[in-house]
Chain A
Amino acid sequence: MSPEAIGEGVGASLRRKEDARFLLGRGRYVGDIRAAGMLEVAFLRSPVAHARLLGVQKAEGAESRVFTAADLAGVGTIRAPSALPGFRVSEQPVLATGKLRHVGEPIAACLAPSRAAAEDLAAACILDYEALPVVADMLTARAPGAPLVHEHWPDNAFLETFRDEDLSELDSIAAAKVTRRLRTARQCMVPMEGRGVLAEWDPRLEQLIVTTSTQQPHVIRTGLSEVLGLDEGQIRVVAPDVGGGFGYKGILSPEEVVCCHLAMRLGRPVRWIEDRLEHLSANANCREHHYTVTAWADAGGRLLGVDVDATVDSGAYSLYPFSACLESAQVGSIFPGPYTLPRFRCRTVSACTNKPPILPYRGVARTGVCYALETTLDALARQLGITPAAIRLANLVPPEAMPYRNLVGKVFDSGDYPQALRRALAAIDHDRIAARRAAGECIGFGLAVFCEQGAHGTSVYHGWGIPFVPGYEQATARFTPDGVLEIRTGLQSHGQGMETTFAQVAHEVLGLPTARVRVVHGDTALTPYSTGTWGSRAAVMGGGAVAEACRLLGERALAIGASLLQAEPGAVELSGGAVRRRDGGAAVTLEEIARTWYRRPQNLPRGVDTGGLEVTGGYRPDPDTGTHSYACHAVTLRIDTETGEVVLEDYLIVEDGGVLLNPMIVDGQVLGGLAQGIGTALYEEMPFDEAGQPLAGTLADYLIPGTAELPEVRIDHMETPSPWTRFGQKGLGESGAIGPPAAIVNAINDALAPFGAEVLDLPASPARVLAALEAARAR
């Protein structure tokens, strides 16, 4: 369709409504909000990874402003169970009791009128502890005699899963077999704004008002009510502007609980703002997988079977609400990737260690899985002497098989996976790569193909048994008396542009100009329940819910409009923001209908729908097993074999997100994810020493990509509608972050192949590239 035909609705690259306030510096983040009488919190945190906590000597003369676990009567622990068989749930104290289990674990809250003064208090406290042996590595965490992170557990594992299958005959029939041991780094999410919370007790409403930097206000409210022992109605959670999340803000944090308790107890507003040191060293941990993968293929590259042994370093506690197995339990279900894998054996372990708990990060499990599978496929292709493209084309789910149910029960909704790969290949100048290589340059080309399940719902999550299960996503649509449409959603927009895309959806259904649509989100008092923004679900679930609420509101408006037009309901229709007689006669605008309902009801007959112009609609796709967007990433890079530096020269993404609600915003999601994926591939690593001490405490040590690290990027959209969603859209918010480590390391190993060298561990830093070359020379 032409831009004119699309207008402002679904498919338009409409500029964002939210931009204006941010461009003027008028965004309002939690750190910008102050309350009269507010106290700031600094946390005294554990300096060691594992110790028995013997006592805290509070800052002299300020004992009444320092709070330890002993002062928090009535506050529970954070428990995030899972119903998966054998799962061990941890009890996470909001302030440490008895033991210290990771560096940075909060021990005491110190309150003062300023953060600096609160930090002075924390520095004046004296800790008494007895150091214990440390569990610093996931692979030795379960070794006999290893110290126990949770002493009443038999070993250091939250969960072990096993999917068995007999692979014994494959050795004798396969033309190729490879085994790879691969490791991905522990990372930090690093949204530019860290976490932060301002808690206030409102004595008039008898309600705790919690302004917090979260992606999931309703889930945080549930979690707070459980830990604090309050009714949910006594808690209002408000997410103001949130400066990036990427999963990190999809958790209930001990700091939130402590601030809430202290605000109630002291009758004063209490605020904590995470600084970057806290973020990096104490809180924002994610990823860190280890894989042993064996794969067998026939001479044509057809996969015969895959055997996976995966360990995830889950850290010390199970995070609320997603639990400690959020990464490992998914490994088994997503490892087959976009392929028609016939046999699959998989064992996973969520190891418990003396590190901060791992939390969700864009791509959750998929980034590591894609890395392990796609690099193993390339190793198989090298052994068989076929191209990376050939081995993928031999195994990708063909379009005629859609919808396709794979051997672990994942259902792919639609698309042409081989076509994505072919389009990528066609856009690459292979002759030029070959010519440069012949001229002696160290050039590599790499591919990754993967799919991303998004917006999966009840049927997927109920079996997982974590603290929430997403059901019908709801949205409220209502007219204000002046005819402005308000959309209320329990999702939370922190960069995704929902204030714009949901207005576009409303425009699509009701025809109102988007300028007359106002989207309200992220506040439990103002919005219907939602599990929030995670799992690439907002476009599908929120888009569907907003459309349904608008459809229902439209029916109400139609009835009123028909009455005003003195027509039978069947003789009118809704189009272009007005109710019109189908015979082309008179019309009445939605604005006029709103004005009449609220302010001139005398003009309406009795018997008009008493529900008025406010309605909540619910939406859930059928089936609700999720959409599968998919992509092919293709990268060309060069390596400086003297320094180990990798320079990305060309990056191409062929992506199928179904129908794009706002293509500009979709590209923004893909590009932002890509930058994070490049960070995972080449730069980002939170190392720990043997004592469990994190070694990167600033953004000068923990490197995230900047402008100079990003290559020119080409994005090619295929738009195969999902047959199951309201507009055919698919979730793809995480996609960009999934493929890069696999594609980039495949390209690196392509470039290193003439040297007989191969990189196995992430990130592929200059040191690792040089080490791979050195190891090859030594062989």
Chain B
Amino acid sequence: MTRLPIRLTVNGEPAEVLAEPRTHLADLLRGELLLTGTHIGCEHGVCGACTVELDGAPARSCITHAGACDGATIRTIEGFGEDAVMAALREAFSAEHALQCGYCTPGMLVAARDIVLRLPGADEARVREELSGNLCRCTGYRGIVRAVMRVLEERRGR
């Protein structure tokens, strides 16, 4: 099958890969680039496990065509090492027991970071609504919602 060249910036590094036109971004990240922190849960854009940052906004990598990402800038869970908001979220997720098996966690963190930055005044109801596109089967969500609220409140208190 035809393989097309795709040029991307992933976690700050340039990457050029060849991919079949049918390849989705999650498979490309996991398969070609070995960035396995991005998880695949449904391949229909429902569960949110595959959420990455695409040109600065969260995106479902399982329903994003890799070929459509030529020239794009992508950040995966492996690419937030220097990010203060992500560091605060990681701390809060652990403190609030917001993860069990860990499978939904990377997508949940990327979505949570977007909420914290985009909606600094969000209340719990809004956080629940915003997180409704990320499914978790282990925690019952209380820890996740509390962790996001904790980071929002810390930032509001500054």
Q: Is B154 an interface residue, CB under 8 A from the partner? A: no
Interface residues of A in 3-28 (CB under 8 A from B): 15-16, 18-28
A79 to B143, CA, bound (A): 42
User: A15-B95, A192-B41 in contact; A674/B132 too (CB < 8 A)?
Assistant: no
- Give a binary string over B37-79; 1 marks a CB under 8 Å from any A CB, 0 the rest: 1111111101101000000000000000000000000001110
Residues in B whose Cβ lies below 8 Å from that of A495: 100-102, 138
Residues in B whose Cβ lies below 8 Å from that of A276: 41-44
Residues in B whose Cβ lies below 8 Å from that of A706: 131-135, 141
Q: Given A16, A114, A244, A494, which contacts B94 in the complex, CB threshold below 8 Å?
A: A16
| Beta-carbon nearest neighbor of A189 in chain B | B137
User: Are B101 and A192 in contact (CB-based, < 8 A)?
Assistant: yes
A23 to B31, CA, bound (A): 21
Q: Is B6 an interface residue, CB under 8 A from the partner? A: no
| Beta-carbon nearest neighbor of B90 in chain A | A23
- Give a binary string over A745-771; 1 marks a CB under 8 Å from any B CB, 0 the rest: 000000000000000000000000000
A671 to B99, CA, bound (A): 12
| Beta-carbon nearest neighbor of A677 in chain B | B140
A700 to B100, CA, bound (A): 24
Q: Given B43, B44, B141, which contacts A707 in the complex, CB threshold below 8 Å?
A: B141
Q: Is A32 an interface residue, CB under 8 A from the partner? A: yes
| Beta-carbon nearest neighbor of B62 in chain A | A276
User: Are A675 and B140 in contact (CB-based, < 8 A)?
Assistant: yes
User: Are B128 and A192 in contact (CB-based, < 8 A)?
Assistant: no
Interface residues of B in 117-158 (CB under 8 A from A): 127-129, 131-145
User: Are A193 and B101 in contact (CB-based, < 8 A)?
Assistant: yes
Q: Is B20 an interface residue, CB under 8 A from the partner? A: yes
Nearest Cβ in chain A — how far from B84, in angstroms?
15
Q: Is A513 an interface residue, CB under 8 A from the partner? A: no
Q: Given A20, A32, A192, A708, which contacts B137 in the complex, CB threshold below 8 Å?
A: A192
| Beta-carbon nearest neighbor of A25 in chain B | B37
Residues in B whose Cβ lies below 8 Å from that of A192: 39, 41, 47, 49, 101, 103-104, 135-138
A667 to B140, CA, bound (A): 10
Residues in B whose Cβ lies below 8 Å from that of A131: none
Q: Is A116 an interface residue, CB under 8 A from the partner? A: yes
Q: Is A191 an interface residue, CB under 8 A from the partner? A: yes
Q: Given B44, B90, B101, B143, which contacts A700 in the complex, CB threshold below 8 Å?
A: B44
A667 to B138, CA, bound (A): 11
User: A19-B93, A699-B135 in contact; A668/B106 too (CB < 8 A)?
Assistant: no
Q: Is A710 an interface residue, CB under 8 A from the partner? A: yes
User: Are A710 and B101 in contact (CB-based, < 8 A)?
Assistant: no
Residues in B whose Cβ lies below 8 Å from that of A641: none
User: Are A707 and B132 in contact (CB-based, < 8 A)?
Assistant: yes
Nearest Cβ in chain B — how far from A503, in angstroms?
15
User: Are A708 and B102 in contact (CB-based, < 8 A)?
Assistant: no
Q: Is A307 an interface residue, CB under 8 A from the partner? A: no
User: Are A699 and B101 in contact (CB-based, < 8 A)?
Assistant: no
Nearest Cβ in chain B — how far from A211, in angstroms?
14
A130 to B141, CA, bound (A): 47
User: A19-B99, A21-B102, A708-B129 in contact; A699/B142 too (CB < 8 A)?
Assistant: no
A114 to B132, CA, bound (A): 32
A707 to B143, CA, bound (A): 11
| Beta-carbon nearest neighbor of B22 in chain A | A116
User: Are B141 and A675 in contact (CB-based, < 8 A)?
Assistant: yes
Q: Given B22, B23, B43, B138, which contacts A672 in the complex, CB threshold below 8 Å?
A: B138
| Beta-carbon nearest neighbor of B130 in chain A | A707
User: A25-B78, A193-B39, A700-B44 in contact; A18/B102 too (CB < 8 A)?
Assistant: yes
Q: Is A41 an interface residue, CB under 8 A from the partner? A: no
Q: Is A246 an interface residue, CB under 8 A from the partner? A: yes
| Beta-carbon nearest neighbor of A494 in chain B | B101
User: Are B109 and A674 in contact (CB-based, < 8 A)?
Assistant: no
How many positions in chain B have a CB within 8 Å of any CB in the partner chain?
53
| Beta-carbon nearest neighbor of A665 in chain B | B97
User: Are A671 and B135 in contact (CB-based, < 8 A)?
Assistant: no
User: A246-B137, A699-B46 in contact; A191/B97 too (CB < 8 A)?
Assistant: no
Residues in B whose Cβ lies below 8 Å from that of A15: 94-95, 97
A646 to B83, CA, bound (A): 41
Q: In which size bucket is the chain A interface?
A: 35 or more
User: Are B37 and A16 in contact (CB-based, < 8 A)?
Assistant: no
A588 to B83, CA, bound (A): 44
Q: Is A496 an interface residue, CB under 8 A from the partner? A: yes
Residues in A whose Cβ lies below 8 Å from that of B38: 25
A667 to B96, CA, bound (A): 11
User: Are B102 and A27 in contact (CB-based, < 8 A)?
Assistant: yes
Nearest Cβ in chain B — how far from A282, in angstroms?
15
Interface residues of B in 83-117 (CB under 8 A from A): 90, 93-95, 97, 99-106, 109
User: Are A242 and B137 in contact (CB-based, < 8 A)?
Assistant: no
Q: Is A243 an interface residue, CB under 8 A from the partner? A: yes
Nearest Cβ in chain B — how far from A552, in angstroms?
31
Nearest Cβ in chain A — how far from B38, in angstroms?
7
Nearest Cβ in chain A — how far from B77, in angstroms?
3
User: Are B97 and A664 in contact (CB-based, < 8 A)?
Assistant: yes
Residues in B whose Cβ lies below 8 Å from that of A244: 100-101, 103, 137-138
A675 to B137, CA, bound (A): 8
User: Are B97 and A667 in contact (CB-based, < 8 A)?
Assistant: yes
Q: Is A698 an interface residue, CB under 8 A from the partner? A: yes
A27 to B95, CA, bound (A): 19
User: Are B139 and A671 in contact (CB-based, < 8 A)?
Assistant: yes
User: Are A704 and B135 in contact (CB-based, < 8 A)?
Assistant: yes
Nearest Cβ in chain A — how far from B155, in angstroms?
19
User: Are A24 and B37 in contact (CB-based, < 8 A)?
Assistant: yes
| Beta-carbon nearest neighbor of B40 in chain A | A31
- Give a binary string over A699-730; 1 marks a CB under 8 Å from any B CB, 0 the rest: 11000101110100100000000000000000
User: Are A190 and B142 in contact (CB-based, < 8 A)?
Assistant: no
- Give a binary string over A180-209; 1 marks a CB under 8 Å from any B CB, 0 the rest: 000000000011110000000000000000
A494 to B100, CA, bound (A): 7
User: A244-B137, A246-B137 in contact; A16/B97 too (CB < 8 A)?
Assistant: yes
Interface residues of B in 14-36 (CB under 8 A from A): 20, 22-23, 30-31, 35-36
Nearest Cβ in chain B — how far from A650, in angstroms?
14
User: Are B41 and A672 in contact (CB-based, < 8 A)?
Assistant: no
Residues in B whose Cβ lies below 8 Å from that of A676: 137
Interface residues of A in 108-130 (CB under 8 A from B): 114, 116
User: A16-B94, A23-B109 in contact; A241/B37 too (CB < 8 A)?
Assistant: no
User: A15-B95, A668-B100 in contact; A24/B77 too (CB < 8 A)?
Assistant: yes
User: Are B142 and A713 in contact (CB-based, < 8 A)?
Assistant: yes
User: Are A23 and B137 in contact (CB-based, < 8 A)?
Assistant: no
A244 to B144, CA, bound (A): 17
Nearest Cβ in chain A — how far from B10, in angstroms?
13
Residues in B whose Cβ lies below 8 Å from that of A23: 90, 93-94, 99, 102, 105, 109
A191 to B40, CA, bound (A): 12
Residues in A whose Cβ lies below 8 Å from that of B128: 707-708, 710
Q: Is A418 an interface residue, CB under 8 A from the partner? A: no
Q: Is A275 an interface residue, CB under 8 A from the partner? A: yes
A193 to B100, CA, bound (A): 13
Residues in A whose Cβ lies below 8 Å from that of B35: 25
A244 to B102, CA, bound (A): 8
| Beta-carbon nearest neighbor of A27 in chain B | B102
Q: Is A497 an interface residue, CB under 8 A from the partner? A: yes
Residues in A whose Cβ lies below 8 Å from that of B90: 23-24
User: A192-B103, A672-B140, A708-B128 in contact; A243/B97 too (CB < 8 A)?
Assistant: no
5 CB < 8 A contacts A-B: A25-B78, A191-B137, A668-B97, A668-B100, A672-B138
Beyond contacts A116-B20, A675-B139: 10 other A-B pairs, Cβ-Cβ < 8 A, are: A15-B94, A20-B94, A23-B105, A27-B37, A27-B102, A116-B22, A192-B104, A193-B39, A244-B103, A672-B140
Measured CB to CB, the residues of B under 8 A from A are 20, 22-23, 30-31, 35-44, 46-47, 49, 76-78, 90, 93-95, 97, 99-106, 109, 127-129, 131-145
Which 6 A-B residue pairs are closest in the complex by CB-CB distance? A25-B37, A22-B102, A243-B103, A495-B100, A671-B140, A25-B77
